[in-house]
Amino acid sequence: MKKLSFWKADWFLGLLVAIVMLIAARGDLIQSLERKAYDLGVKAASRTPSDRIAIIAIDDVSIANIGRWPWSRDVHARMIDLLGGAKAKVIANTTFFFEPQRDAGLAYIEKLMVLQQQAAPADAGKPGAGDDVLTKIGGVLAEAEQVLNTDRKLAGSIKRAGNVVLPMIFQQLTEPQGNPDKPLPAYVSANSIALAGAGEWLPPPGILPIYPIAELGAAQPGIGHLNADHDVDGAVRAEPLLVRYYDRLFPALSLQVAARSLNLGVADLKPVWGEALQVGKLRVRTDAELRMHTFFYADRDGRPPFPVDSFFDVLSGKVPAAKYQDKIVLIGATAAGLGTAQVTPASPATAPVMTLAHTVSSILGEHFFITPSWGIWVQAGVFLLVALYLIVVLPRLKAGVAAVISLGIGIMLLGTHFGLMITQLMWVQLMGATALLAVGYAALTTKRFLVTERGKEKSDAESAESSRMLGIAYQAQGQLDLAWDKFRQCPLADPVMENLYSLALDFERKRQFNKAESVFRYMAEFNPKFRDLEQRLTRAKALSETVILGGAQGHPGGTVLLEGGGMEKPMLGRYQVEKELGKGAMGVVYLGKDPKIGRVVAIKTMALSQEFEGDELVEVKERFFREAETAGRLTHPNIVTIYDAGEEHDLAFIAMEFLKGRDLVPYTKKDALLPVQLVMSIVARVAEALGYAHQQNVVHRDIKPANIMYEPESDTPKVTDFGIARVTDSSKTKTGMVLGTPSYMSPEQLAGKKVEGRSDLFSLGVTLYQMLSGSLPFTGDSMAQLMFKIANEQHADIRTVNPNLPTCVAAVINKSLAKDPDQRYQTGEQMAKAIRLCLGTMNAPARPAAAVS
């Protein structure tokens, strides 16, 4: 049993790569490619950011001037008062106010106030020196407590502004294992919506919430979570618009800011589970877990997409607060060491407040990247198509074509990816398919190089024996030039000399004597006494100087056979030429033999290069082989079988069935006419053969007695030379003679009109006329007169030439020779039927074929 080696095939490697890449499709590597491609698409896309958003940065300048972080909360209170007075639309401070800010002196002040109240006399309302002192001390303590209680100041500023949004965070974004430790304060729950109707489409869960202190919550600010959604590579690309805490949903800080800028509250946030979040009239498209893929806006002229001012500059009045009227003001840290910079598609170090600005603008402008519901099917379909390309198509392509097609597919995939992102803000993940294409192409190319190309180069360079075997193989295939190249790569030794000697003889058979001389001369340099090398070299040299294949400078009938002994029988293709059978206008007919299967054939040669030149020669050759192929498809008992067609040097040849009989030309002489019944029988069978050919869309174009072979012993007529007339159709010889036989041509053929099957039937009618009468129906003193008669004059009634013919015979001839094709027999079968009906009316039987000589 033959050992299975399918695993070595290119298609198997393509399949293996596809399976591996399919398994790796959800792995970090492919997903990393998808994310990198996504980031590039984000950078390439362009949208205009909202001009309503402004950032006040807690930057290094502010830290240097105001003091070390964290600042006293009265600083934040002063900023909120400034912005509230300037009528800012929304103020979002990303600073965490999760614990009370207790000044160290405030505790002592509170203790002194308690003692002051305890030390006040019973008659504290009456005037007295001691009472006055304690009252003054109490006033000072109250004033100090007011100054040091910064939480109260900040709460007051938030309440006066009425449009402040503060952050909360969930310490872990994971499913809770039990029930909450305690209920959330009412001021926190008021900023959430109930979880209802979500079904399987649940937002990400969160536990262990941290929120602003109660004193600030009493001022009723808006509260939104500030949890970032980090990808596995640590980058922030999406915003979880809602986080699920048990049965409540908490909106993101960005969502709260956007909603309040539209005068909307949490009640106006309507989840469309699994696909979007409705914010008033805005529809924010999301993934199944209500994550929005934020649009990150590009810098403009080297500046951030949103205006950024220093906290200190605004607080000190250097930047007027009036600038922020009707603006969405985002306050956040950008100074080094404050907070953690985020990796985003826009920058590897984006301040969280800048990320917040991008997110708010994305919501308000409906600028967000979406993954369509049909995207997963497109991804799978494209992946499958690329896999099929690697398994089925790529292994069949040549290296250059494979590179061009693979590059084109890769460009198309990348173009589709970036085109959808840039124009439609649509993310369809095609990097898995692109990676499959790249890896598959690289794997197959490398495998071909390592297993085939490099192995072949190494074999050709280092292994003389392999080169010799290749030479033998090429020689057996008839590729003698390639065999010569391979044999020259081998060190000369007796086995190689035998191979070279055999090769030189093959060159002789091909009549390429100059090449035979080259081989003999190469051998003589090593061993001039090898066999009869000296005689062979002398003869090959003489012939290479005098003989040209096919007689290229002589008559097209020049033979390929040479007189004298000592020469190998010539070859035409794979056929060995035995002898010459005859000559025609275009070449010589030989008796040949296929040495592999012993089949005897007739080989008709055509020296096309003698009749045509340049582009016309190329066109005629193409037509020759096309017509030979068409004729070769005809299989009919009355059509000569075509076995092969080829070209040898300057000779085109057709190998066909060898017939023992001869053509019908001798039987057109008045003294050698065949019996009427036999002629009618032969023509009927020829008509059927033509009818079959016409059904195959093959027109002969040159029906005449010379192209109909007849073997009397078996009473078998056969039509030959299908397609030869078309090769030379409408062409002229070097002497200007029109190729073809005008006496048998139909009127439409002479007029240069489209030739179809009915033209062949006209020619067959002329042949029938000639074989029954010994004369042609149309004759003339000149070519022009002959052509005029065929086109315009009625032929002479055949019974004026042969009065013994039945009326039905004349009727068949008259109908077949009608000038108008529509008046003739329309098919060969019709003509054959009419002839056989005529035969049936004749009394005398046809003479047996064996009696015809």
Q: Which residues contact 72 (CB under 8 A, 6 or more apart)?
A: 101, 103, 150
Q: How many angstroms separate the CA atoms of 522 and 507, rounded?
A: 14
Q: What is the phi-psi region of residue 681: left when phi exceeds 0, alpha when psi lies from -120 to 50, beta otherwise?
A: alpha
- One-letter amino acid for residue 262 of the chain: L
Estimate to the nearest angstrom the gap between the alpha carbon of 505 and the chain centroid. 49
Q: How many angstroms separate the CA atoms of 54 and 50, rounded?
A: 9
Q: Which residues contact 43 (CB under 8 A, 6 or more apart)?
A: 296, 298, 345, 346
Estimate to the nearest angstrom the gap between the alpha carbon of 728 and the chain centroid. 42
Q: Which residues contact 518 (CB under 8 A, 6 or more apart)?
A: 484
Q: Which of 144, 138, 146, 142 is CA-nearest to residue 120?
A: 138
Q: What share of the chain is helix, strand, coil (3-state, %, to 5)?
A: 50, 15, 35
Sign of CA dihedral 583, 587, 589, 590: positive
CB 552 within 8 A of CB 545: no
CB 849 within 8 A of CB 713: yes
> Residue 407: helix, strand or coil by DSSP?
helix
Burial of 529 from C-beta contacts in 10 A (0-12 / 13-18 / 19+): exposed
Q: Is 702 one of the catalytic residues?
A: yes
> Residue 375: helix, strand or coil by DSSP?
helix
- One-letter amino acid for residue 273 of the chain: W
Which is catalytic among the residues 59, 81, 702, 760?
702
Helix (H) or strand (E) segment spanning residue 225 = strand 222-225
DSSP letters along 483-545, please?
HHHHHTTSPP-HHHHHHHHHHHHHHHHTT-HHHHHHHHHHHHTT-TTSTTHHHHHHHHHHHHH
Q: How many angstroms separate the CA atoms of 326 and 573, rounded?
A: 92
| 3-class DSSP string for 14-55 | HHHHHHHHHHHCCCHHHHHHHHHHHHHHHHHCCCCCCCCEEE
Q: What b/e string do you get for 590-627 counting C-beta neighbours within 10 Å, with b at 16 or more?
A: bbbbbeeeeeebbbbbbbbbbbbeeeeeeebbebbbeb
Q: How many angstroms separate the CA atoms of 327 and 688, rounded?
A: 95
CB 516 within 8 A of CB 538: no
Q: How many angstroms separate the CA atoms of 104 and 326, rounded?
A: 39
Q: How many angstroms separate the CA atoms of 763 and 317, rounded?
A: 110
What residues does 710 pair with on adjacent strands? 662, 717
Q: Which two tokens stand for residue 810?
A: 């004349």
Q: Which two tokens stand for residue 450?
A: 């390592």
Residues catalogued as catalytic: 702
